Amino acid sequence: MRTLTVEYLQDKILDGERLSPEEGLFLLEKADLTTLGFLADQIRRKFHPDNVVTFVIDRNVNYTNVCVAGCKFCAFQRSVGSPEGYVLPLEEIIRKVQELVDWGGTTLLMQGGLNPNLRLGFYEELIATIKSKFPQIQIHSFSAPEIVYLAKLERMSVRDVLLRLKEAGLDSLPGGGAEILSNDVRAFLSPGKCTADQWEEVHRTAHELGMTSTATMMFGHVERPHHILEHLERVRRIQDDTGGFTAFIPWTFKKGGTQLDHLEEVSSVYYLKVLALSRVYLDNFRNIQSSHVTQSMKVGVIGLHFGANDLGSVMMEENVISSTGYKVSIPRVEDMVKAIRSAGFTPAQRDTYYRIVKTFQ
């Protein structure tokens, strides 16, 4: 068996060969930041020779904060019966979507807790009402844990729940709730959420039904490097089979009001290493997103030189990460355009499906 070296793996990557999980782990643990960044940038250039970096105008509407999952990393959730728990009235959600339309947005991201009081009919009415009033808005909503929990409540299959939601007007699924797709990690981190296999089932089923989705990873807490590779290998395998993921979006754990506040947050250097490895390892993903939300815009644009070709969203609203006390800076369109240009790229607004809406020359 060949002895692994960074030089050998660099040649392998530049020749377009696929990495094994063992090789990916070796790079994460042994390669320096600049080497990984160089390799990721080379792969990005193959996918995006036009040097365009995209962003989306969206709104993240958290329709409820009542949740029974009990995730140790979450400061947003409230228990059933909590005086701080809420479910947004339909009228308020419609008002928020109207503001999104007025802003020139294309994407509505709705996510909430695992609320036992909300049944399938609530979601169907919500989606159908939004679609009837705003047919142009792409509804990119409801994470895999929400789908699995809803299927459990209704005693239905995941497929039947997704079919009902699609018929109501659901367009695509966010990758939220993935955290780390390792059941060893999930058993400690989020024991009340769906398993890694159930997360995979939701996304495979959505793809089979003609819906797209994104894949995400929230790292920098209790996972070890081999868990990151386990996660990347799983989403790469799904993408091989279905081709239904539009993008991969890694971000880091933020502490503040969580059960994991004793942990030290990982550095921006480690974030950039994982981002770069994601681009190198996920050779079947066209789009990799850099996170200005958890890393700041300064680090977010650096990520564009470490494999990312997308800078996420101009968000009208963000509640989950903000609930930790971390100050989320929400950029305006002109801020996003300026930031992308400052990094040496051509900015472009996209939609949910990564289709270009407008290029800023």
Q: pLDDT tens across 255-308, in order?
A: 777 777 888 899 999 999 999 999 999 999 999 999 988 888 899 999 999 999
pLDDT category at 324 given cuts 50, 70, 90 is very low
Please, what's the b/e burial string for 252-290 (b: 16 or more CB within 10 A of its CB; e: otherwise)? Answer: bbbbeebebeeeebeebeebbbbbbbbbbbbbebbbbbb
Distances (CA, A) of 150 to 173, 209, 221: 15, 18, 28
* 194 known member of a binding site: no
Interatomic CA distance for residues 18 and 8, integer angstroms: 13
Q: Which residue has the tokens 């939300």?
A: 293
| Secondary element (H or E) of residue 59 | strand 52-61
313 among annotated binding-site residues: yes
User: H or E segment at 216?
Assistant: strand 212-219
| Distance separating alpha carbons of residues 139 and 353, to the nearest angstrom | 11
Query: 132 among the known binding-site residues?
Result: no
Digit-coded pLDDT (tens) for 140-151 = 999 999 999 999
The pLDDT value given to residue 330: 66
CA 318-181-329 angle, 5° bins: 20
Q: For the domain 21-359, what is the CATH code?
A: 3.20.20.70
Residue 230 predicted with pLDDT over 50: yes
How far, CA to CA in Å, does 337 sit from each of 52, 104, 169, 248, 329?
11, 15, 31, 21, 15
Q: How far apart are CA 286 and CA 48, in angstroms?
A: 8
User: Position of tokens 């968000």?
Assistant: 315
d(CA 73, CA 251): 13
Handedness of CA 182, 183, 188, 193 (dihedral sign): positive
Q: How confident is the model at residue 47 (pLDDT cuts 50, 70, 90)?
A: very high
Residue predicted with more confidence, 39 or 79: 39
Q: Which of 53, 51, 54 is nearest to 349 (CA)?
A: 54
Is the pLDDT at 326 greater than 60? The verdict is no
Mean residue pLDDT across the chain: 92
- 268 among annotated binding-site residues: no
The answer to whether 67 is annotated as binding is yes
Least confident of 68-72, 86-90, 97-101, 119-123: 68-72
Q: Of 264, 336, 352, which is closest to residue 300 (Cα–Cα)?
A: 336
pLDDT > 90: percent of the chain? 80
284 near 324, Cβ under 8 Å?
no
Span 174-184, average pLDDT: 94
Q: Which of 170-174, 190-194, 253-257, 289-293 holds the top average pLDDT?
A: 170-174
The structure tokens listed for 229 are: 């590779």
Residue-wise pLDDT for 199-219, tens only, equals: 999 999 999 999 999 999 999
Over 90: is that where the pLDDT of 73 sits?
no
Is residue 322 predicted with pLDDT exceeding 50? no
pLDDT of 320: 46
Nearest alpha carbon to residue 282 among 355, 232, 354: 232
How confident is the model at residue 329, as a pLDDT?
57
Yes or no: say if 234 and 202 are a contact pair by the CB < 8 Å rule: no
The pLDDT value given to residue 255: 76
State the angle between helix axes of 225-242 and 196-208 in degrees (0 to 180), rounded to the nearest 10: 20
Across 85-91, average pLDDT: 94
79 is in an annotated binding site: no
d(CA 216, CA 203): 12
